[in-house]
């Protein structure tokens, strides 16, 4: 089971000089992906327990378009192990003009992570029916 969201990173998300966005924004996107995966799988939003690995691989700037994808790779009694990847697919070209942008021929992986979510047994509406 997989989930994918795409969004444009806003100038409000820029936290550092040069319109650089902090890594927490990618984790926020992964949290949204995890929530969708849990709703699809269990019929409940569940809770994110912990990341066991996070790798920030390339910078993200205001104006970038990011695709965040996730997948449930293991299902326990109440735990759901997931892996995530965020890729930059469109980048602004402010060197050309304030509104120029390019679709990247090869997306750039900006972040990878893995973690565990939990859906309490009493909240697993879909799994109870199986």
Domain 2-129 in CATH: superfamily?
A: Hotdog Thioesterase (3.10.129.10)
The rounded mean pLDDT for the chain is 93
Residue predicted with more confidence, 70 or 130: 70
Answer yes or no: are the C-beta atoms of 120 and 42 closer than 8 Å.
Answer: no
pTM across the whole model? 0.91
Both ends of the chain: CA-CA distance in Å?
A: 16
3-state SS, residue 87: strand
3-state SS, residue 78: coil
- pLDDT interval class at 129 (50, 70, 90): very low
Each domain of the chain, given as residue ranges in start order, spans: 2-129
Q: Would residue 81 be called left, alpha or beta, if left means φ above 0 and alpha means ψ between -120 and 50 degrees?
A: beta
User: What is the Cα–Cα distance from 20 to 52, expressed in whole angstroms?
Assistant: 25
Mean pLDDT over residues 101-119, rounded?
97
Q: Strand runs (DSSP E) across 39-100, as ranges? A: 47-56, 65-75, 79-92
Dihedral (CA of 112, 118, 124, 127) sign: positive
């Amino acid at each position: 089971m997989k989930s994918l969201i795409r969004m444009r990173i806003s100038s409000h998300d820029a936290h550092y000089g040069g319109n650089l966005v902090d890594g927490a924004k990618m984790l926020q996107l992964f949290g949204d992906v995890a929530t969708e995966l849990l709703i699809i799988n269990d019929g409940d939003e569940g809770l994110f327990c912990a990341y066991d690995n996070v790798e920030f691989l390339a910078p993200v700037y205001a104006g970038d378009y990011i695709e965040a994808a996730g997948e449930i790779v293991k299902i326990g009694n109440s735990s759901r192990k997931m892996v995530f990847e965020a890729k930059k697919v469109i980048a602004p070209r402010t060197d050309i003009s304030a509104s120029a942008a390019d679709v990247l021929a090869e997306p750039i992986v900006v972040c990878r992570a893995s973690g565990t979510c939990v859906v309490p047994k009493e909240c697993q509406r879909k799994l109870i029916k199986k």
